[in-house]
Amino acid sequence: MRYISHRSLRAVLLGLCAVALAVLATGITGCNERKTEYTPDGRVILNFWHTYNDTEEAELKAIIAEWEAKNASWSVRPVRIPFDGHKPKLRTALTVGRGPDMARVDWSFVCELGRKHALVDLAQFGFDAIKDTYLKAPLRTNFIDGRYLGLPDQTTCVALFYNKQLFRDAGLDPEAPPKTWDEFVEMGKKLTNVEKGTFACGFENTLWWSLPFFNTFGATLISEDGKKCLLDQEPAIRAIDFKRALFADYKIEAGAWRAGSITPEQGFANGKYAMIFMGPWNLPKFTSSKLDFGVTLIPAGPAGTSTNVGGTNVVIFNTGKFPKACYDFLTYFTSPEVQARWCSKLNQMPVNLKAYDLVKFDDPHLMTFMEQMKSAVSNPIVTSYERLEDFVNPEMEAVLTGQKTASAAMATLARKVEKRVLSD
């Protein structure tokens, strides 16, 4: 009696399995791959996934129109995707072969894309001839295992922002910000006023935001061949120990890196932190909030002034059928004249050295950034930059909170990074 019901149940379950298998079978035959698309007037459409904002997108469209006027057979279709999430979007799209022809990606993403064999080597189009026209530090983020797999389209770095009013309040000359770390500490002691809740500085504690420390102390994080982690070397240890001292010994850092604290940006905007590292993207915001501030070079350490590199690169995917056309467009897009126009209009730093002389900004702060950019050192290049941060940030925090000494933390860290990050 029960047997009957079992049989019907089994039949239904078998049916369900069959449905699932059928779906799987269609899945294995592969996704509907992208077909080449044409414009009404017969041009081949190249899909370009970008992450620009409204004003940048408008400028991009103008540049595309110019380029199309010179090239009869190609058309670029700009498709905006959100910057938050452009990595998972590209990863999944590439998994099923629905990626674009070219894309604008965060600088840290090029290495993963390259090592997972998704990108086109630019050497075949003669990139070597023009590569030296690009700024070194941003270009270096495209140099993966001996090949150039992308080119920079937008670059940023951080410099030292300081609050002139707080300098005056502390009896310091607002036109003479610190030039070296020693001066920074000296002035910092005067700028800190615990009663009023103002601090000389507030810093993030992630690796990217700490790179100016490492770079001014002349520390290299990852060896040139990408196999060794050099965080346990003397310069790196001294850099991180100096950062600890700012917080723990000199007590001039606000502890802005702690979870739940006021971020450097907020603290600076509200006149609580006198000096912070910040990039050019916040210039309009601080200016509009009527803050009396200046921008100066990162204080010099043993290796002089230096900074980190941020920004984005543009890459060409090897799933596209027309990499050469993409390359032509992207080199046009980053050529000196186009860059000069783009940067002057949008108040951004050029990626092309030749464009440096062509841009002139009304904002003197931006000129400081252009100056600072020249001293930038390349960021560490690893397959998963997020993963590197996941290992480095906790150890740096352990040093800052005094739970570990800098040398002990960095020794464990270097071993861990080599084993778990660099071996990928």
Partner 1 sequence: MNTHTDQADPRTPAAQGGSPLRVVIFVTLFVAMIALCVGICGQLYRFLTMVAAAFAARGGDPAKAGEVMKNMAWMVDALTAATALALASIAIRRWIATHVEQRAAFLRTFFLYLCLTAGVVVVLFPFFWMLCTSFKPAGTELLINTSNPFDIVPAEPTIGNFTKVLKLDAAGAAASVDPVEAKKNFGTYFMNSLVVASLAAFLVTLFASMGGYVFAKKELPYKPQLFGVLMATMMIPGMMYMVPQFFMVCSMGLFGTKLAMILPHLASVFGIFMLKQFMETIPSSLIEAARIDGASEWQIFRVVIIPLAMPIILTLFLLTFLSHWSNFLWQLIVTDFENPLSITLPVGLALFRGQYTSDLGLIMSASCFSIVPIVILFLFAQRYFIEGMTQGAVKE
Partner 2 sequence: MSAPQNSRETASSLLFLSPFLILFSVFLLFPILYSLYLSFYDSSQGFGLTNLRWVGLSNYIQILGIHWEGGAWKFNDPAFWWSLAVTFLYGGLSIPLGIAAALFLALLLNNKLYGKNFFRSAFFLPNILDMLVVGVIWTLIYAPKYGALAQISSAILGPEQFFNKVGPLASPYTALPAIVFAMVLKGAGFGMVLFLAALQNIPEAVYEAADIDGATKSQQFWYITLPLLQPIIFFMVITGIIGSLNAFTEIYAMTAGGPQIVIGDETLGSTSVAGYYLYKQFEGGRFGYAAAISYVLLAITLGITWIQQRFFAGDKR
In the complex, which residues of this chain contact partner 2 (CB under 8 A)? 1-2, 4-5, 8-9, 12, 16-17, 19-20, 23-24, 91, 94-95, 97, 112, 115-118, 197, 255, 258-262, 383-384, 386-387, 390, 394-395, 397-398, 401, 403-404, 408-409, 412, 424
Nearest distance from C-beta of residue 313 to partner 1, angstroms: 13
Please say which residue, 125 or 293, places its beta carbon nearer to partner 1. 293
| Separation between Cα atoms, residue 141 and residue 149, nearest integer Å | 9
Nearest distance from C-beta of residue 205 to partner 1, angstroms: 17
Nearest distance from C-beta of residue 321 to partner 2, angstroms: 18
Residue 4 interacting entry, from partner 2, partner 1, none, C-beta within 5 to 8 Å by type: partner 2
Nearest distance from C-beta of residue 183 to partner 2, angstroms: 27
Residue 115 interacting entry, from partner 1, partner 2, none, C-beta within 5 to 8 Å by type: partner 2
Nearest distance from C-beta of residue 377 to partner 1, angstroms: 22
Tokens representing 385 are 């930059």
Please say which residue, 17 or 176, places its beta carbon nearer to partner 1. 17
What does the angle CA 419 – CA 420 – CA 423 come to, to the nearest 5 degrees?
65
Please say which residue, 30 or 40, places its beta carbon nearer to partner 1. 30
Please say which residue, 346 or 411, places its beta carbon nearer to partner 2. 411
* Binding footprint of partner 1 on the chain (CB under 8 A): 2, 5-6, 9, 23, 26-27, 29-32, 47, 49, 51, 53-55, 58, 77, 79-85, 88-89, 92-93, 95-96, 98, 262-263, 265-266, 269-270, 279, 281-282, 285-286, 288-289, 291, 312
CA-wise closest residue to 139 among 112, 100, 101, 110: 110
Nearest distance from C-beta of residue 116 to partner 2, angstroms: 5
Residue 26 interacting entry, from partner 2, partner 1, none, C-beta within 5 to 8 Å by type: partner 1
Please say which residue, 269 or 340, places its beta carbon nearer to partner 2. 269
Please say which residue, 34 or 387, places its beta carbon nearer to partner 2. 387
| Separation between Cα atoms, residue 388 and residue 417, nearest integer Å | 7
> How are beta strands 293-296 and 159-163 bridged, if at all?
antiparallel
